[in-house]
A and B are shown apart, each in its own frame.
Chain A
């Protein structure tokens, strides 16, 4: 059962080949046997009760296409009555009293939550090594990282511990682990999916999306989670198309731009080879390739590492040990309570970004850092705007390398380079996607696609067409 996609499971459930309870139990057993450390919390009882409710719906024919399908939530989405930690010690004691809009939307489909997946603390990281709950192992090679920050979600889907998982992407956190784990992940346009109840890292960059086995599954899940939310002022008041409708459209004549900046010195040559091969596949399907330039993309890393820390330094201020979450033992006074609760509760990378952000927003530095970064961000967006006058899609690598060894990268700045190709889509607010495109040394390589605003249909269509011609997405790691 666990090798089936969401679309296939949906048919099987409808045809009563197995029940949602059976399916759920099967995944729970797999999770229990797994050593990937992909989950922070497994919600066995809740899952089985949701599965029973789903089976009742399926029995009377009132279920939707997603009813009864098990899935896992990145532990950044608030789930009522369930621990929501964001991978941090400071939220280890936090049981959310409410559901994120995205959680609510999947609940009303009568889906089955298996648990909450591991992640880099507050979504800060590219290897999932920054989790209070320990690193996650890559199912393709357990010595390797799964990528981050949605590393638990990526590993859970790649290891078939869950048919799909939710993720969030602030600088590449859906696409990069999808690439490193060989799954399909889409970061929608900023504002497409509500951020309400998704613990904020960098509010102007954060966006939630599905992490799945196939583009078709991504379309099915996106159908359920996209749309305006009156609880999120930055969500777009804009109709949501049926993303499955255009999957089968021909991509003949699709104009694909290949930014020369994405094939720079830092790109691993074996990754480059896979990407180049997959481009040829698109060409064979009738797409037209052309080289383009995104001249300001070189500034994506410094820009991102000002904007995101500035916002997170403020977003994480609420974690003060006063109302909820971790509080230090026997605080002497208020200052001691703040200092020790936060020093003991946050990990190093989070502290680093809070300090960078606090510094960059300080009186006298604001113009030089925050304002400057906003201006560069504008320039990066304009590069894309120009490019999309001539092309329908932009393609390139997701990450300069395949999965690297756990513990191999110790220098934070070297780690930041893992997101060099993904950051600019967040800075511009554009939709981006990673799809399995091949292997290098038995490790998956993801192809990145960046679309124009609100062009998720184009991305999913191109991805689905690629997946009808290739089977990289259905290759399984050993022993699955």
Chain B
């Protein structure tokens, strides 16, 4: 039977404010346990929350970046449930009226087209503390440092139809929140977390199937795997005539499986109600205009500019703008005067390959954007060939010095002395009488053979364009 997959994502994006959403405590990651939790974060008797205005700005930046309806009057609500790392016995969140309403974002499909994914809402809330169960043998520990860290929960419509599409969407949001400077996007530290709602239905059916919510996914790779494994599980159930149960499932990356955490019946009744300790958030028109004007160039705008002004292909432009850090790197090269298309090839080619291989983020690259732009310029001005440039790149990666020093010290400079190249070519023609005969008889494919011989004789330093030209002149 043909099944269609339906996926919606809930993304928790940690807002990179200095202090917490409702207290003055620091949000810095990695501090000693419970050193960044003040009376408010600990939920002591009598304490009250006070909204950090910066989180409102950040939520609005996001809302405006996805062309969402902004609710200029939004309300904080209490989500009541008991858990030891939830200090107050409720989480302050937004329920009926979130600050960001309906919006949308375009993603590229596997077929190369574009697709719009709806954003249902985005609301502000506080994070809980962290329970640690493996530190002590006989009891659990709690670190409240994370309690009260501001989160923007971004809820998508169930618009995605494959795990790959879900990953593309998640990456797009991941890039966007970094572009607009509201989240550091660090998935290892939990700054960007995805829950996936997955269901399947018969192809052509309009009715949504029963969904499972997948939690505990901390990388894009696992997001794809978790969704695919869940699709398989649901297909097996339905094809055996069973029914999918609405539940929350935890993804286990080690076993690559999902397992039930709680079913709908076991789910909490959160007893949401407006938090009487906080005033509604009211946003003036002027504030919206101000934030709108302060937004940086967004990924889609940048991509379109790369296509129209620089002449990059859609594919190149998409890849270069997918990550803000990569786009920034590329733009430093452009501003430095490196040739655009060649720079794009190097960033997406050698540089990305080396970064991936060594699992390094582009901002930590051993070769700076300026250094790479020097290298590209040496190709453009015929100092070295593209092939030699790859060796220079390797040397630079190892930290063997700057471009020109490497070229100089290793004698990699391209031969541009026409007379010298002609002498070498003459020698090769003299030593390959048979091949010359065949070439002249019409086997023009042999040109490659001659070029190869010249490059071999010059240790790759001859300018291939010159070699081609001279060979053609001499052999015709």
Seen from chain A, the residues whose Cβ lies within 8 Å of a Cβ on chain B are 77-78, 84, 86, 91, 94, 96-98, 100, 195-200, 202-204, 230-234, 310-311, 313-314, 316-320, 322-324, 334, 338, 358, 361-363, 366, 370
Q: Could you say which of A84, A86, A196, A317 contacts B47, with CB atoms under 8 Å apart?
A: A196
Given A317-B80, A338-B82, A361-B271, CB of A323 within 8 Å of CB of B46? no
- Which residues of the other chain, B, contact A311 by a CB distance below 8 angstroms? 276
A-contacting residues, B82-96, CB 8 Å: 82, 84, 87-90
Q: Which of B30-54 contact A (CB under 8 A)?
A: 39, 42-51
Task: Provide 25 A-B residue pairs closer than 8 Å at the C-beta atoms, listed in order of the A residue.
Answer: A78-B45, A78-B46, A84-B46, A91-B45, A94-B45, A96-B46, A98-B39, A100-B46, A197-B47, A203-B276, A231-B48, A233-B49, A233-B278, A234-B279, A313-B271, A314-B273, A317-B82, A317-B88, A317-B89, A318-B45, A323-B42, A323-B43, A338-B82, A361-B273, A366-B273
Of A233, A314, A358, the residue contacting B48 (CB under 8 A) is A233
What's the nearest-Cβ distance from chain B to residue A303, in Å? 15
B269 sits at the interface (CB 8 A)? yes
Chain A: CB-nearest residue to B23: A231
**Which residues on the B side are within 8 Å of A196 (C-beta)?**
46-48
Question: B277 in the interface, Cβ–Cβ < 8 Å?
Answer: yes
Whether, in the assembled complex, B121 has its beta carbon less than 8 Å from a beta carbon of chain A, the answer is no
| A195 CA to B277 CA, complexed, in Å | 9
Contact partners of B88 in chain A: CB under 8 A: 317-318
- Across the interface, A233 reaches (CB within 8 A) one of B39, B80, B269, B279, namely B279
Write out, one digit per residue, whether chain B residues 292-335 have a CB within 8 A of any chain A CB (1) or not (0). Answer: 00000000000000000000000000000000000000000000
Known interface pairs A233-B278, A311-B276. Does A98 touch B44 (Cβ–Cβ under 8 Å)?
yes
Give the number of A-B contacts (CB < 8 Å).
Answer: 98
Write out, one digit per residue, whether chain B residues 218-245 have a CB within 8 A of any chain A CB (1) or not (0). 0000000000000000000000000000
Tell me the minimal C-beta distance from A40 to chain B in angstroms: 15
> Measured between alpha carbons, how far is A316 from B43 in the docked complex, in Å?
11
Let me know if A362 and B269 touch, CB within 8 A.
yes
Contact (Cβ within 8 A) B45 A86: yes
Cβ of A362: which chain B residues have Cβ within 8 Å of it?
Answer: 269, 271
Q: Decide: A320 near B89, CB < 8 A? Known: A234-B279, A314-B80, A361-B271.
A: yes
What 4 additional pairs, Cβ within 8 angstroms, besides A317-B90, A320-B84? A200-B46, A322-B84, A358-B271, A362-B271
Task: Please tell me if the beta carbons of B44 and A97 are within 8 angstroms of each other in the complex.
Answer: yes
With A and B bound together, what is the CA distance between A313 and B276 in angstroms? 13
How far is the CB of A387 from the nearest CB of chain B, in Å?
25
Q: Are B46 and A198 in contact (CB under 8 A)?
A: yes
- Contact yes or no, B90 A314, CB < 8 A: yes
| Interface range on chain B (Cβ under 8 Å from partner) | 20 to 34
A318: which B residues are within 8 A, CB to CB? 43-45, 87-89
Residue B249 is within 8 A (CB to CB) of chain A in the complex: no
Contacts of A322 in B (CB 8 A): 84, 142
Which positions in B face A, CB cutoff 8 Å? 39, 42-51, 78, 80, 82, 84, 87-90, 142, 269, 271-273, 276-279
Which residues of B are found within 8 Å of A198, using beta-carbon distances? 46
Distance in angstroms between the alpha carbons of A110 and B19 in the assembled complex: 33
A230 touches B50 (CB 8 A): yes
CB distance from B453 to the nearest CB of A (A): 78
Q: Is the CB of A233 within 8 A of B46?
A: no
Distance, CA A323 to CA B43, complexed state (A): 9
Identify which of A100, A204, A233, A324 gathers the most chain B CB atoms within 10 Å of its CB. A233
| Complex contacts, B50 vs chain A, CB 8 Å | 230-233
Task: Say yes or no: B45 contacts A84, CB within 8 Å.
Answer: yes
Q: Which of A202, A314, A358, A370 has the most CB of B within 10 A?
A: A314
B100 to chain A, nearest CB (A): 21
Contact B78 A314 (CB under 8 A): yes
A63–B43 CA distance with the chains assembled, in angstroms: 36
Chain A residues, CB < 8 A from B45: 78, 84, 86, 91, 94, 96, 199-200, 318-319
Contacts A196-B48, A233-B278, A234-B279 given; does A361 touch B89 at CB 8 Å = no
> In the complex where A97-B39, A233-B51 touch, is A314 in contact with B279 (Cβ < 8 A)?
no
Closest 5 CB pairs of A and B: A317-B89, A361-B271, A203-B276, A204-B276, A197-B46
In the bound complex, CA of A324 to CA of B272 (Å): 25
Contacts of A234 in B (CB 8 A): 48, 276-279
Which residues of the other chain, B, contact A230 by a CB distance below 8 angstroms? 50
Q: Which residues of B contact A231 (CB under 8 A)?
A: 48, 50
Are the CB atoms of B269 and A323 closer together than 8 Å?
Answer: no
Q: Roughly how many angstroms separate A198 CA and B45 CA in the complex, as a whole number? A: 8
Which residues of B sit under 8 angstroms from A84, Cβ to Cβ? 45-46
B residues less than 8 Å from A324 (CB atoms): 44
Instruction: State whether A314 and B89 are in contact (beta carbons under 8 Å apart), knowing that A203-B277, A233-B277 are contacts in the complex.
Output: yes
Q: Known: A232-B48, A233-B278, A314-B80. Contact between A363 and B87, CB under 8 A?
A: no
| CB pair B87 A323 closer than 8 Å | yes
Query: A341 CA to B90 CA in the complex, in Å?
Result: 18
CB-CB under 8 A from A233, the residues of chain B are 48-51, 277-279
Residues of B within 8 Å of A313, CB to CB, are 80, 271
Closest to B78 in A: A314
Tell me, in angstroms, the Cα distance from A470 to B157 when the chains sit together.
Answer: 71
CB-CB nearest in chain A for B43: A318
Tell me the bound Cα distance from A439 to B325 in angstroms. Answer: 79
A256 to B51, CA, bound (A): 41
A198 to B271 CA separation, bound complex (whole angstroms) = 24
The answer on a CB contact under 8 Å between B46 and A199 is yes
| CB of B257, distance to nearest CB on chain A (Å) | 26
Q: Kindly name the residue among B42, B271, B273 whose own CB sees the greatest number of chain A CB atoms within 10 A.
A: B271
